[in-house]
Structure 1
Amino acid sequence: MRKTTTPLARRLAAAAVALGSCLALAGPTGSAAAAPTDPVPTVFFGDSYTANFGIAPTNHQDDPNRAFCFQAQENYPAVATRRLADKGITLDVQSDVSCGGALVHHFWQEQQTFPLIPDLKVPPQQDALKADTTQLVVGGMGGNTVGFVRILKQCSDKLRSDEHALLPGTPVDPDQPAVECAEFFGSGDGKQWLDDRFEQVGWELEEMLDRMAYFAPAADRVLVGYPRLVPADTTKCLTAAPGQTELPFADVPQDALPVLDQVQKRLNDVMKKVATDAGADFVDLYATTGANTACDGADRGIGGLLETSQVEIFGTKIPWYAHPNEKGRDLQAEHVATKVEEVLTR
């Protein structure tokens, strides 16, 4: 189904963007705006990379609906907010609705947070926006809509095993051997599946940014990309990180690692283009985290697929599943804070 934004919504969104542009141009030529003196009402949104799944302790332990969002108390929105405060920029965080597992359409549809308990749901993330007050919206989604965890399971026998059945995602085609996943995604049904995923994520991201402009017309929008997972030199991935026994990408074949990187780069390009076309700002984490991938040993900003994270579920610690560790979280916070400062002072 194609986008559902009404013509009126699109006209109002376009008018809001045009008005913002006119106001910006009306300032003194060559003058730089000062940092805002009042707190900036802000909403953070996103999936597990914004929630920073894997970092403990987590928020909302008293709310079963949000507990399974695995939102870290010290996720990058919290750390970036403190970084900005140190520079004299205060964010009044109205809400952080980031939730692990969120697809782009969960910005406007409710999300089931734990598949085994269908009644556990959270409302659409757009509900946090306040038309009369919200001035900044920051976060990122897209990886789950592209189906990155399904790609990982397509390429790994270990992830397909019963031992890891609770990790999200299912193989795209379980009848195709994991060892042949690079070939699978390079042609035929696998390539067509990827192309369809990217077509969907593109127009859903457009829809999401349109909705932000409609429901919070005075807000600056900052779309945050994903940190790089696989290095340019994939031989780095053939060595376990210090203190680890599993390789960073477990048994994913080495010839599939460039495929994972190509998928991520393609998603990054789509996100950047959609943000630019919509007049939003983009944080290009892929371009700035190439030395902190899952395969960069002690410098890794990404926890390995089966490396134990800090979070437990039913008494068992669960793997990072290629999510930012604390070092990666700090890198996210640094780059997001830098972009937000630029947006609020231009």
Structure 2
Amino acid sequence: MRILVTGGAGFIGSEYVRMVLTGTGPRLAPSAVTVLDKLTYSGNLANLDPVRDDPRLRIVVGDVCDPAVVDQAVAGHDVVVHFAAESHVDRSIHSAAPFITTNVLGTQTLLDAALRHGTGRFVHVSTDEVYGSIDSGSWTETWPLAPNSPYAAAKAGSDLLALAYHRTYGMDVVVTRCSNNYGPYQFPEKVIPLFVTNLLDGGNVPLYGDGGNVRDWLHVHDHCVGIALVQDKGRPGEVYHIGGGTELTNRELTARLLTACGADWDRVTPVADRLGHDRRYSLDITKISEELGYAPQVTLERGLAETVTWYRENRAWWEPLKARLGGEGTWRPDVPTR
């Protein structure tokens, strides 16, 4: 089996690549893995260093929106696992165009190439943010989409495109939607690595609004295990939720990170709430659990402890990235990132 992984040098994509090549998840046993990544600000070849010497790995630097590059990359592969996306909500609020271009047009370009080459399976990796916000209970896979940010709207559009290619052309497409990921190699603009690295450096951390927004936290390895299960046994044309099973308010998460880093609440700076900030996300994972045997294995206690340790021991990885962001690593539109 030959697998093409788009965005394979990013946070989640690189975890998937490391997992399938080292056999630390479901045994997919690929004969070849090709990474297609544009290497924008959050793509990092260092994320693949643990498997760079594997003879099955090939890296192609290119844009999923480039039809010629995509056509060559897709040719000869049995499976496409599509991670490549613009994903930072704050950036999408400041400038939506790159999100529409990459997330929607890039997905369409890949789907066209996969259809043309008769690719066996197309796994489209998406997010719980496409549903908007939920006050109580949990979303099932049939819940109507109601995205509130430009990022979420772009992902919802790409989901619908992927499913349309199944229904129109009979392509073997499956869609996964995950809750908030965390773990090693996550770019330090996202909340957990941002907070941890700021605290390790003696800096402060910004807490949006009243800190009452609720997220379900999923370790990146558990997410990739779920993706592999869907890739291997998921039903064509279906959507599968992959969640972690631990919901926390942002304030509760902040408290855990302060404790893990030996810091106090005087290091927390309240900031104005994000525009259109969804109050709560919650995925029902019954379908993937019953059909495919998925169950998250990394508890939040263990996962956060290991994540903090990883960032403490890998300054050489994140310090240059934060230097590009400027200041304490909080993204601002006036700070260049490349």
Q: TM-score, normalised by structure 2?
A: 0.36
Richer in strand (by share)? 2
Q: Which has the higher contact order (CA 8 A, sep 6+)?
A: 1
Q: TM-score, normalised by structure 1?
A: 0.35
Look at both structures and tell me which one has the larger radius of gyration over its CA atoms.
Answer: 1
